[in-house]
Each structure stands twice: as structure tokens, then as C-alpha cells.
Amino acid sequence: MLMMTFRLRLKQTSKPKHTRLKFCLEKLKDPNVLETFQAMIGGRFAPLTIMSNDDTDIESMITTFNTAVTETTSEILGKHRQKKKPWITAEILDLCDKRRELRKKRFEPEGAAKYKEVNNNIKRSMEKAKENWIGEQCSEIEENLKKNNSKRAYELVK
């Protein structure tokens, strides 16, 4: 008989990157944006209806359809920006985008000053937004406790 002990080292597999594009669909609630989006989509699909009369390859039609949809949505709606914290506003995200662009130029004298200014603006606006959000949460908890809705109040506290 033979006994042995051995160590097994498993290799960590890399997960595939997210290839799905997420667009900001909240903008479609605005009627003006919705009308322009529908007009652009209709304009892009007009050639597809003409192509469908001819005997063309279905794969090429699918690719043209996909490119038409993705191009129009990226032009009009833009990419969806994920908020990691609930108090972050769209203005703060715009400032973060601006800071990201200025980060490349921060080693130049003018770029460093602009980067520092935008960075300080982001920090100040984040603090204000967080305080406002906490204040709103506290007032909502107080209202729920006054209305004897303890379940909702404790959910907010949790």
C-alpha cells in the first residue's frame, strides 16, 4: 500500500469581458429625445427595407441592422454610466469625465492646475451630494416613523 499527500494548485480562469454595450435608456422618457431617436432609426432602416426586396444575404442584413441600431443609440442616447454610490449625480459624472481627460495633461504646468481644480470641485460636490442624500434619507425615515410605517423606516435605516 502507498499513501501520499499532495497539493493541488488550481489556476484561476479569466472571465470574459463584458461585450454588451449599455445605453442610457432613461433619456427616452423625454419626448424630444424620443422623437429624434425614432426619426434617426427610421432614416437608418429605410435602406434595409429596400434591400429586403432583393435576394440578399441574411447575415449581411443582420450586421447592417445591428450597426444601424448601435450607431444611432450611441449618438443620441450615449453610454449608460453606472453609479456606484446612490448620491452621485450626472454633473459629478461629467466632472469625472473631464478629470479623466485632464489626467493625461497633468504633468504640464497648465494641465496640473486645471486637473487640481477639477479634482477639488469633484471632492466638494461629492461631499455636498452625500450630505444632501443623507439628509433626504433621514427626513424620509422621520416621515415614515410619524406615519407609523416602521417597516419602511427600518428598511431605509438598514
pLDDT digits (tens, 9 = 90+) for 114-127: 999 999 999 999 99
What is the tens place of the pLDDT at every residue in 36-56?
888 888 887 776 666 555 556
> Residue 41 is placed in which grid cell?
432609426
Q: What is the dihedral of CA 45, 47, 52, 58, to 10 degrees?
A: -80
C-alpha cell, 19 = 461585450
User: What pLDDT score does 41 carry?
Assistant: 84
Q: Is the pTM of this model over 0.85?
A: no
| Residue 129: per-residue pLDDT | 94
Please give the pLDDT value at position 127: 95
Q: Are 77 and 37 in contact (CB under 8 A)?
A: yes
Confidence at residue 59, expressed as pLDDT on a 0 to 100 scale: 82
Whether 79 and 23 have beta carbons less than 8 Å apart is answered as yes
For 66-98, the DSSP string reads HHHHHHHHHHHT-B----SSTT--HHHHHHHHH
| Positions of the chain with pLDDT lower than 50, given as ranges | none
Q: Give residue 120's pLDDT.
A: 95
